[in-house]
């Protein structure tokens, strides 16, 4: 036994689900059930403690209150453990990992999200591998005692990704996640191969900070050919709306119609921070590349560069949660806070 320790936080998700006897539908179950199916946990040479949500949830139930609950558990236990593993449903894992990457500022310990596509009680489950390797990554330390991966990450099917760079890409296959615009931080084969130069380092002169406030006065607007002015107007007239993540085409392009650009320009003038991200799985917004992007740029829309939608929306929640003005959010949203976007071109 080493002196290392990890806290496992079980929030729910397929990994711990069992079939409802009456309906056959999957529903979350408690952590003891999971331990029974992963006896390997008892053979790991470090201490593992576990806590779980009072009521484990399907991750479609995730929201800022539940992110705050996860953060509270981490803060209350931060000095007691070397790392944290969060068991979470895959459906919204990219959102939760993104949110936590902003809410937990300057961590010097790993926070690893994982889950599975098949429940742990199934013979072919992917959950066992995911869980055991995530636990090992959470306690990996350099010779000087510093954590190897002091970041909020997602570990899934042999790859470790920066949490705020992940997207769920498959509803069935075991390789459910990808990090399209940032290289994977580690690959797990016969041994775990880290890309050390890709991993963020904490600023040792500053303490870790826990930010709880998340403002949900935000929305996502996905463009499609034929989007009407009624839809656009209704979106930008939502009472109290502060921020919009607009999913545009390709390199950040949108229709050049006057009515379209007028509605957006008016919204931006009214202080609604509008962030342009691409609908493409990969690549960056570059509004000045095409006339159709330039029009949008002139309205005051901010480039989200290569941010995922999940990172952009949770970043807006976090920045408005900090109490910043629209002008300040506009400035901050286009800067990398925790590695969620490429630094400005």
**Site residues (vs ligand ASP, CB under 6 A):** 13-14, 58-59, 89-91, 115, 117
The CA distance from 297 to 286, in Å, is 9
Q: Is 226 exposed, middle or buried (0-12, 13-18, 19+ CB in 10 A)?
A: exposed
Q: Least distance from C-beta 37 to ligand ASP, angstroms? A: 15
Among residues 83 and 89, whose Cβ is nearest to ligand ASP? 89
Among residues 56 and 150, whose Cβ is nearest to ligand ASP? 56
Among residues 59 and 179, whose Cβ is nearest to ligand ASP? 59
The CA distance from 75 to 79, in Å, is 8
Among residues 30 and 58, whose Cβ is nearest to ligand ASP? 58
Among residues 118 and 148, whose Cβ is nearest to ligand ASP? 118
183 token code pair: 């290289």
Residue-level length of the chain:
345
Tell me whether residue 309 is one of the annotated catalytic residues.
no
Q: Least distance from C-beta 163 to ligand ASP, angstroms? A: 15
Q: Residue 116: which residues within 8 A CB-CB, separation 6 or more?
A: 13, 14, 15, 90, 125, 126, 127, 130, 131
Long-range contacts of 59-62 (CB under 8 A, 24+ apart): 59/11, 59/12, 59/13, 59/88, 59/89, 59/90, 59/91, 59/92, 59/93, 59/96, 59/115, 60/89, 60/91, 60/92, 61/12, 62/11, 62/88, 62/89, 62/92, 62/95, 62/96
Among residues 112 and 324, whose Cβ is nearest to ligand ASP? 112
Q: Least distance from C-beta 95 to ligand ASP, angstroms? A: 11
Q: Least distance from C-beta 14 to ligand ASP, angstroms? A: 3
Q: Which residue is nearest to ligand ASP (CB)?
A: 89
On whether the CB atoms of residues 296 and 251 are closer than 8 A, the answer is no
Q: Least distance from C-beta 105 to ligand ASP, angstroms? A: 26
Spot the catalytic one: 2, 11, 14, 314. Answer: 14
Q: Least distance from C-beta 92 to ligand ASP, angstroms? A: 6
The CA distance from 31 to 10, in Å, is 7
Active site residue ranges:
14
């Amino acid at each position: 036994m080493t002196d290392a320790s990890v806290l496992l936080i079980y929030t729910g998700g397929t990994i711990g689900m069992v079939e409802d006897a009456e309906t056959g539908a999957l529903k979350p179950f408690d952590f003891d059930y999971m331990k029974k199916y992963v006896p390997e946990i008892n053979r790991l040479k470090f201490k593992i403690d576990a806590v779980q949500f009072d009521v484990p949830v399907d991750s479609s139930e995730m929201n800022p209150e539940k992110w705050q609950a996860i953060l509270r558990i981490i803060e209350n236990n931060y000095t007691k453990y070397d790392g944290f593993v969060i068991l979470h449903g895959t459906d919204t894992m990219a959102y939760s990992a993104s949110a936590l990457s902003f809410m937990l500022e300057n961590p010097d310990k790993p926070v690893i999200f994982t889950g599975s596509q098949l429940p742990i009680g199934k013979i072919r489950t992917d959950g066992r591998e995911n869980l055991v390797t995530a636990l090992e990554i959470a306690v990996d330390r350099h010779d000087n005692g510093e954590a190897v991966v002091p970041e909020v990450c997602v570990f899934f099917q042999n790859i470790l990704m920066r949490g705020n760079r992940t997207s769920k890409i498959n509803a069935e296959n075991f390789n459910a996640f990808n990090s399209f615009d940032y290289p994977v931080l580690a690959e797990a084969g016969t041994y775990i191969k880290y890309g050390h130069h890709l991993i963020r380092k904490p600023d040792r002169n500053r303490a870790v900070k826990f930010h709880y406030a998340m403002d949900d006065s935000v929305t996502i607007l996905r463009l499609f050919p034929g989007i009407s002015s009624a839809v656009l107007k209704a979106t930008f007239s939502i009472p109290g709306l502060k921020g919009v993540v607009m999913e545009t085409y390709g390199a950040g392009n949108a229709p050049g119609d006057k009515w379209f650009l007028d509605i957006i320009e008016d919204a931006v003038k009214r202080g609604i921070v509008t962030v342009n991200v691409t609908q493409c799985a990969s690549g960056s917004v570059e509004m000045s590349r095409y006339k159709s992007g330039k029009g949008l740029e002139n309205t005051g829309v901010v480039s989200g560069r290569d941010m995922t939608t999940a990172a952009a929306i949770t970043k807006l929640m976090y920045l408005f949660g900090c109490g910043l003005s629209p002008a300040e959010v506009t400035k901050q949203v286009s800067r990398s806070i925790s590695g969620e976007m490429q630094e400005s071109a």
